[in-house]
Structures are given as structure tokens and as C-alpha cells.
Amino acid sequence: MKSKWIAILLITSVILNLLLVGFIVGKRAMPDAGADPTRHYPRWARTLPEPRRDALRPMIRTHMQAIRPSLRELRALHRNLRAAIVADPYDAAALDEALQALRGQNDKVQVVSHNSFIDFVAKLTPAEREQLARDVGRGRPHNSSGHKPRPGHRINETR
């Protein structure tokens, strides 16, 4: 009887571990599945009324799918850059090469993003474009030290 309970507990443990591993692998493989793709856009896109966000969401999702491989490459190039910085012995040519590759990939990502932005703006109403024009260039609020706060940090202003 005791061995039957041990077998049941062992099987239950294996099943729970497989579920956990599957969940973790799934989250890493598709971190944005089901997420609102407009959260990747600047605040002016996120402030659109929900019906407009619904209308523009398929276009934004397509953009995110198109840019995702470029962003993966950008992350890989950042790893290369960090490796070149800490290399011992230090190799200035390798660091220069890593920086050039990073700059080239940044340019590619910007071209894709700018083209997507052009398409996005074309879908806006005149009033929405006017609001966008007011919002473009507005940075995050500065704190009393004059530095922009990091995302997720509160601004502590003394007055």
C-alpha cells in the first residue's frame, strides 16, 4: 500500500514538473502572446481610445512580427559588444567591429520602425495626427535633479 502512494506521488510530481517546464518554455518562446502590442509603442499610441486601438492592433501586430528577428539580432550584437569590452587581452579592433555591426543593425531596425510609423500615421484621423504632433518630442518628465526617471520609478520632486 505504501509503495502505491509513493508511485502516485512520484507520477504527480513528474506531471507537475513537466507542466512547469512547458509553461516556462512557452513564456520564453512567446513572451508577448496575448499582450497588447500597442504597449510597445510610445505613449501616444497607447492613449488612443480603445476602439481605435482595436482597429489599429492588427497593423501593429504585423509590425511587431516583422521587427522581432531584427531585435533578436540586436540583442546578439549587444552580447558581442559586451564580450569585446571585457575581452582580455583588450582588442580595440574587435570592439570597433562590434560597434559597427551594432550601428548597422540599429539602422536596419530604425528603417523598419520608421516605415511602420508612416503606415500607422496614415491610418490616423486628422485630429489624432494633430494630437500626435503635439506629443512627438515630449520626453518623460524630469525629476528635480534634471535626470529622466527610469521606467517604473517614481518621480520625487521637492517643491
* Domains assigned to the chain: 35-135 (1.20.120)
Please tell me the distance from the alpha carbon of residue 68 to that of residue 50, in angstroms, as a whole number.
25
Contact 45, 38 (CB under 8 A): yes
Please, which pLDDT band fits residue 103 given cuts at 50, 70 and 90?
Answer: very high
Please, which pLDDT band fits residue 137 given cuts at 50, 70 and 90?
Answer: low
Q: Vertex 146, ends 145 and 151: CA angle to 5°?
A: 95
Under 8 Å CB-to-CB from 123, ≥6 apart: which residues?
55, 56, 59
pLDDT of residue 36: 56
Q: Give 67-78 pLDDT, tens digit per residue.
A: 888 888 999 999
Instruction: Kindly report the average pLDDT of the chain as a whole number.
Output: 77
Asked if the model's pLDDT at residue 152 lies above 60, the reply is no
